[in-house]
Copies of this chain bind each other. A is one copy, B any other.
Amino acid sequence: MSTPAYLDLQRRHERLHHLGHMQHIVEWDQSANMPSKGSDARSLALAEMGGLLHQLATDPALKALLEAAEQEPLSEHQRANLREMQRVWRSANALPQRLVEAKSLARSRCEHAWRTQRQANDWAGYLVNLREVVKLAREEAACLSDATGLSRYDALMDQYEPGMRASEVDRVFGDLRSWLPGLIADVQVRQAQELLIRPQGPFPKAAQRALGLDAMRLMGFDFEAGRLDESVHPFCGGVPEDVRMTTRYREDDFLPSLMGTIHETGHGRYEQNRPRDWITQPVSQARSMGLHESQSLSFEMQLGSHPAFAQLLSPLVIQHLGAQPAFEPGNLNRLLTRVQPGLIRVDADEVTYPAHVILRYEIERPLMEGLIECEDIPALWDTKMMELLGRDTRGNFKDGCMQDVHWGGGAFGYFPCYTLGAMYAAQWFATLRRSVPDLDTQIAAGNLQPVFDWLNANIWSQGSRWETPELVRRASGEALNPAHFKAHLQARYLA
């Protein structure tokens, strides 16, 4: 069986993989380490590198190679790899080199300035850079739309969640909007009667870091293939063989960093356990950002906020931060499941979180469709925050529309993935409970292995072998079904 075109493509993707390694480590460094005066040179370096990778991914020889490989006798895995190669090629070819380099430059500059501008609540300063990023993202959307025949927003979203469409998001988010505000209110009424003991700080950074590392160990993170550092905006980056997680610490509250770390560990283990035999190839990639988020939320919400899990967390918290009445398992779980409409998405509880996502979806979609401009964002933000969560953000850009790195980083169409991920995670655990009926007892006993095994077998080890609907069906026996998320919230918060 001769497959010269396929093998040529495979070698080219190996090369892209190795050069991508350079890019991922340098991007991590930019967020975790880089001092301020390094910014301009770094932006230029990343733009040059991005342009070079784009050049390799759009080599004119690829078209004929992809067509020839279609005719070659390939295994099922190789065929899935070829399908993903074609997807990478289509999206790379949709964008002119000039645009790729200009966007890389604009986002590096915007993100870097954002670090200080956010602290200073400097919307006017941020706006200057954001306008440039939005202008280039719209050009990108137009190019992707031309290449795929999708609408502009769908074309952007398809990069993060292949196959997902705004019409489907509208359907799912429409359903959510119908019952979420009522559920938030019901939960708040119910929780108003609970006795809740607040932890007494301060909590030194070094102790929080040690606690976070122990939580990562509990969640099975492989420290020989990754590390935990600090950055302004927590993320999980690096490469599968060397995963770079970040967190940030507040001395007055340890829970945001602890639960954020458990969240990123879910992303980290997905990456650490992608199919190793195919690691240089597109078929080994994580399937989608929504599925990625389903892993972090399986860790942070399905497990992390589970009443039985508090029995595992409590001794670790006491070990690193000292004993307090607030650290008793029951109270710890009440803290972790406390529903409180707030300003910050990344600190939100799992019940109000979807409201933050709906708000952003309802702004970024018209922004990309050219129906609104960057200047319109703050007023829309204020209105929707009041409408969805009843909170006033007027004049508070820092904790309002400047809180996220996504838009300044040019990532439009990403936000829906968070709530799709929460829904997938609920669906995974509904499935898992059917095959492991005593799951809650196992968790309380500290045996998380059945969870890790199921996620590894059904998600991590599958990479991009199947398209998303097929992966979801194979894992759970049905298509994405938001009813599991609703049932999960009702069972946990209103039962």
Interface residues of A (CB under 8 A from B): 15, 18-19, 21-23, 25-26, 29, 33-38, 40-42, 44-49, 52, 222-227, 239-242, 279
Q: A35-B226, A52-B52 given; name 12 further pairs at CB < 8 Å.
A: A18-B48, A22-B26, A25-B26, A26-B26, A34-B242, A35-B225, A37-B224, A38-B239, A38-B241, A40-B241, A41-B241, A42-B242
B41→A224 contact, CB < 8 A = no
Nearest-CB residue, chain B, relative to A238:
B38
CA distance A52 to B49 in the complex (A): 11
Interface centre among A26, A47, A226 (most CB of B within 10 A): A26
Known: A37-B222, A37-B225. Is A15-B239 also a contact (CB below 8 A)?
no
Q: List 9 A-B contacts (CB under 8 A).
A: A15-B48, A18-B41, A18-B47, A35-B225, A37-B242, A38-B239, A41-B242, A42-B242, A52-B52
Given contact pairs A25-B25, A29-B25, A29-B29, A18 touches B44 in the complex (Cβ within 8 A): yes
Contact of A22 among B45, B226, B239 (CB under 8 A): B45
* Chain B residues near A224 (CB-CB < 8 A): 35-37
**A33 contacts which chain B residues (CB < 8 A)?**
227
Residues of B within 8 A of A23 (CB): 22
CB-CB under 8 A from A49, the residues of chain B are: 18-19, 22
A39 to chain B, nearest CB (A): 8
User: Which secondary structure dominates chain A's binding surface?
Assistant: helix
Tell me the bound Cα distance from A240 to B37 in angstroms.
10
Query: Is B21 within 8 A of A45, CB to CB?
Result: yes
Find the B residue at minimum CB distance from A240: B41
Partner of A242 from the list B21, B22, B38, B47 (CB cut-off 8 Å) is B38
In the complex, which residue of chain B has the Cβ closest to the Cβ of A244? B33
A245 and B271 CA atoms in complex are apart in Å by 30
CB pair B223–A35 under 8 Å, yes or no, is yes
Closest Cβ–Cβ distance, residue A99 to chain B (whole Å)? 18
Known A38-B225, A225-B35; judge A48-B19 contact (CB<8 A): yes
Which residue on chain B has the smallest CB distance to residue A35? B224
User: Are B22 and A22 in touch, CB under 8 angstroms?
Assistant: yes
Contacts of A48 in B (CB 8 A): 15, 18-19
Q: Is the CB of A21 within 8 A of B37?
A: no
Complex alpha-carbon distance, A34 and B52, angstroms? 25
Do B42 and A21 touch across chains, with their CB atoms under 8 A apart? yes
User: Are B18 and A45 interface neighbours, CB within 8 A?
Assistant: yes
Chain B proximity of A467: nearest CB distance (Å): 27
CB-CB under 8 A from A35, the residues of chain B are 223-227, 242
Using Cβ atoms and an 8 Å threshold, which residues of chain B touch A226? 35, 38
CB <8 Å contact, B227 and A41: no
Distance between Cα atoms of A45 and B239 in the complex (Å): 11
Nearest chain B CB to A157 CB, angstrom units? 30
Closest chain-B Cβ to A434's Cβ sits at a distance in Å of 35
State A227–B425 Cα separation when bound (angstroms).
41
CB distance from A237 to the nearest CB of B (A): 12
**A44 CA / B20 CA spacing, docked (Å):** 11
Kindly list chain B residues whose C-beta atoms are within 8 Å of the C-beta of A242: 34-35, 37-38, 41-42
CB of A23, distance to nearest CB on chain B (Å): 7
Bound-state Cα–Cα, A92 to B19, Å: 21
Chain B residue with minimal CB distance to A23? Answer: B22
Cα–Cα distance between A33 and B49 once the two chains are bound (Å)? 22
- Alpha-carbon distance between A41 and B52 when the two chains are bound, in angstroms: 20
State the 7 A-B residue pairs at the shortest beta-carbon distance, nearest first: A38-B242, A21-B45, A18-B48, A37-B225, A41-B241, A18-B45, A37-B224
Please indicate the chain B residues that have their CB under 8 angstroms from the CB of A44 in the complex.
18, 21
Most buried by B among A26, A33, A36, A239: A33
CB-CB nearest in chain B for A21: B45
Contact B29 A45 (CB under 8 A): no
Cα distance, A279 to B46, chains bound together (Å): 17
Q: B residues within 8 A CB of A42?
A: 21, 241-242
Residues of B within 8 A of A47 (CB): 18
Name the CB-closest residue of B to A241.
B41
In the assembled complex, the Cα of A5 lies from the Cα of B378 at a distance in Å of 51
List, in ascending order, chain B residues with CB within 8 A of A279's CB. Answer: 41
Please name the residue on chain B nearest to A15 by beta carbon: B48
Give Cα A450 to B26, complex, Å. 37
Query: What are the residues of chain B within 8 A of A239 when measuring CB–CB?
Result: 38, 41
Complex Cα–Cα for A231 and B52 (A): 31
